[in-house]
Amino acid sequence: MRVALLSDAHLQGPGDPNQARLLRFLAKLEADRVCLLGDIFQHWWHFGAQPFPAYAPVIEALRRFPLTFVPGNHDFHAARYFADVLGAEVAPEVTAEWDGVPVHLSHGDEVDRSFGYRALSATLRGRVFAAGMDHLGPARAWRFLARISGHPQGTPDARLCAAQVAVAAARVTEGHRLVVSGHTHAPGVHPVPGGIYVNLGDWVRWHTWLLVDGGEATLFRRTDDDRDTPFTGEEAIR
Ligand SMILES: [Mn+2]
């Protein structure tokens, strides 16, 4: 079983070089399942079965894979689309067993318990916001969401990164041997007692993705010339 996992591409449409890069990656990818762990899209809304046209090529590229979709804080609204239109397995936390390895998948923002974050999150997921989007229609909704979604975050939040490792260690004690999340854009492989926590990094700066093949996990970085090289962590120092 070959599973590819990635998160935090924060795609912004055809003019975004990271979107072109991800499309080249997906075109060549051989995997039995692709797990998208949140914030693949910088902002998402859909109207009926129509996503934003800017993301249609990405949807087409994903169609050939069995999909797992964990919503992020930027693309939570895509959850229903991925479930209904693409038949993806969708949940904020996913557990599975791949070649005998119990895994736990999440976006990674669930470790942020701050009031401001949770209040904003609740507003954006509420009915009033949804009614506003539907009223705007696709073209104006795209421009509005692009404006409010900000720039993809660049500098990892050290406090959140530490919280992610601590939460992952607790999940390992619950029996998950491989715990994977993203959100903080801090790629890395963290051994914890009894298991491993992998932070997927992003496709904004790092272009990192995780391959779990036969129960073995390897974090790769996609180079500028579209090759995969194991991510050692030394890149993060530069
Ligand atoms: Mn996020």
152 C-alpha vs ligand 1 centroid, how far in Å? 9
Looking up tokens 């939460």, which residue turns up? 167
pLDDT at 238: 52
Question: 10 C-alpha vs ligand 1 centroid, how far in Å?
Answer: 9
- Which pLDDT score, from 0 to 100, does residue 100 have? 97
Q: What is the DSSP string of 226-238?
A: S-EEE--SGGGG-
The alpha carbon of 185 and the centre of ligand 1 are apart by a number of angstroms equal to 8
Structure tokens that stand for 103 in this block: 């895994």
pLDDT of the residue at 153 = 63
- Going from the Cα of 7 to the center of ligand 1, the distance in angstroms, rounded, reads 8
**Domain 2-237 coded CATH 3.30.70.890:** no
pTM for the model stands at 0.94
131 by Cβ neighbours in 10 Å (0-12 / 13-18 / 19+) ranks as exposed
* C-alpha span between 44 and 145 (Å, rounded): 8
Residue with tokens 């949807």, as numbered in its chain: 59
- What are the phi and psi torsion angles at 203 (to 5°)? -115, 35
| Domain definitions of the chain by residue range | 2-237
Interval between CA 217 and ligand 1 midpoint (Å): 22
pLDDT in tens, the chain (238 residues): 999 999 999 999 999 999 999 999 999 999 999 999 999 999 999 888 889 999 999 999 999 999 999 999 999 999 999 999 999 999 999 999 999 999 999 999 999 888 888 888 888 888 888 899 989 999 999 999 988 888 776 688 899 999 999 999 999 999 999 999 999 999 999 999 999 999 999 999 999 999 999 999 999 999 999 999 999 887 765 5
Distance of CA 41 from the midpoint of ligand 1 (Å)? 10
Which helix (H) or strand (E) element contains residue 211? strand 208-213
Ligand 1 centroid to Cα of residue 182, in Å, is: 7
